[in-house]
Amino acid sequence: MKPAKDWKIEILAVGSELLTPHFQDTNSLYLTKRLNDLGLDVQIKTIVGDQWDNLCLAFRQILARTDLMIATGGLGPTKDDRTREALASVLDRKLLFRDDLLRAIERRFSSRQMKMPEVNKKQAYLIEDAVVLENKNGTAPGQWIDTGSDTVILLPGPPHEIKPMFENYVWPRLQAFQNRYIYRRVIKTAGLTESQIETYLGDLYPKILEVQLTTLASPGQIAIHLKSSSDKSISQAKHKVGQAIKLICDALEKGVYSTEGEELEEVIGKYLKKKHQTVAVAESCTGGFLGHRITNVSGSSEYFLQGILAYSNTAKTDLLGVSPEIIDKYGAVSPQVALTMATGIRERANATYGLSITGIAGPSGGTKEKPVGLVYIALAHDQDVLVKKNLFLGDRNAIKFQSSQKALDMLRRHLSGTSQS
């Protein structure tokens, strides 16, 4: 048999719902990640419906070109579910009834005080010489079939069934073939543009040739995915990635907020907990999204005290002490109002930090002087207040997200002790 790193590997997803506009095959993302972790790459993915001809055609063509094939879905009890039958037919193998499998399915139903419907009986059939992959979260067992030249793994469709089956029964079997080790990490950044990052990285590329970098940019956040492989050991792959992370963090400095995959709100949560400090927010155009993100972190009640959603001008005055004269003179979207909102919420909540956001999320409400996307963000602490003017692009949701991201990043940079740029 070929060494595993040279295997041709394909994934087949079966299910007519996957050929509608409503459903994606997401199992293949999980499977690809876990195969990559074993040093294995996926070459082709195919998605077919439940029609017998297409199913058999897919099996026949994929078997002719792969070493390892993973097929998901179509193992259910209904007449539409014919993945098992199609593969048996293409391999010209019998489907054998297994009494132990039937009893396991019956037990699953009886444990929930139900009688097994007659249709489920078909799930007790195993392709000749296949190995059973136990399914603890569903009635359809998986199957592992060696054809001599190929390996075919049949798994059910529901993600919560597939994952434990893969981890418990497929992973150890594939791991026995492993002869390449892959290590992966993600560096998350805020406050840098994609071209700034490209410029910084440009000088580093020659120094980290053995690490593959992929930059994923979306408004407000850019992540750098690092991947390295070794034919010898995982620690060698880790070492290469570790060196690259160090070089990139040195180059991007305060632009990096996590090398552990955390979100900004988790990072500030850790700082605040450690320092026994607290935060309160005053939001206008984000309408609660900043508070929502901060409170997405379990345990945030330790440091998040309160928030004011001052959508109307009256609310800005009544709840945050922004004087009507300031609003009249400078407008609700102004550095003056942002500043007063931040100091107002900080005082009112008796918090270490007050964060405020006021802006125009659009699509309406913009003017030539104050266009859609203009957002003032302020951070109040001790005696100082930092106010930043921003011009964000994108739709309402993108502007809300970027505003919250910038506010969290201002607090993060302050908490980390780095200066504001």
Span near a second copy by CB under 8 A; candidates 51-59, 123-131, 163-171, 241-249: 51-59
Smallest gap from Cβ 30 to a second copy, in A, equals 7
Smallest gap from Cβ 24 to a second copy, in A, equals 6
Residues 387-416 that bind a second copy (CB under 8 A): 396-397, 400
Q: Which is nearer to a second copy, 29 or 391 (CB)?
A: 29
Question: What are the residues whose beta carbons fall under 8 Å from the beta carbon of 3, sequence distance 6 or more?
Answer: 177, 179
- Spatial contact of 15 and 74, defined as CB atoms under 8 Å apart: yes
Contact flags string 323-362 toward a second copy, x per CB under 8 A:
-------------------------xx-----------xx
Q: Pick one of 217, 251, 309, 326: the residue that binds a second copy (CB under 8 A).
A: 309
Span near a second copy by CB under 8 A; candidates 120-128, 194-202, 239-247, 305-313: 305-313
Contact flags string 204-223 toward a second copy, x per CB under 8 A:
----------x-x-------
CA–CA separation, 324 vs 217, rounded Å? 40
CA–CA separation, 146 vs 128, rounded Å? 10
Using CB under 8 A as the binding rule, whether residue 195 contacts a second copy is answered as no
Q: Pick one of 190, 237, 308, 339: the residue that binds a second copy (CB under 8 A).
A: 308
Residues 249-288 that bind a second copy (CB under 8 A): 281, 283, 285-288
Q: Pick one of 95, 213, 251, 315: the residue that binds a second copy (CB under 8 A).
A: 315
Nearest to 220 by CA among 303, 289, 304, 160: 289
Helix 396-415 and helix 264-275, axial crossing angle in degrees, nearest 10 = 30
Q: Pick one of 5, 51, 109, 271: the residue that binds a second copy (CB under 8 A).
A: 51
Residues 6-35 that bind a second copy (CB under 8 A): 17-22, 24, 26, 29-30, 32-33
The conformation of residue 117, written as its DSSP 8-state character, comes to P
State the virtual CA torsion across 385, 388, 394, 396 in degrees, nearest 10.
30
CA–CA separation, 353 vs 346, rounded Å? 6
- Spatial contact of 264 and 409, defined as CB atoms under 8 Å apart: yes
Smallest gap from Cβ 130 to a second copy, in A, equals 25
- Spatial contact of 42 and 10, defined as CB atoms under 8 Å apart: yes
CA–CA separation, 270 vs 333, rounded Å? 31
The conformation of residue 78, written as its DSSP 8-state character, comes to S
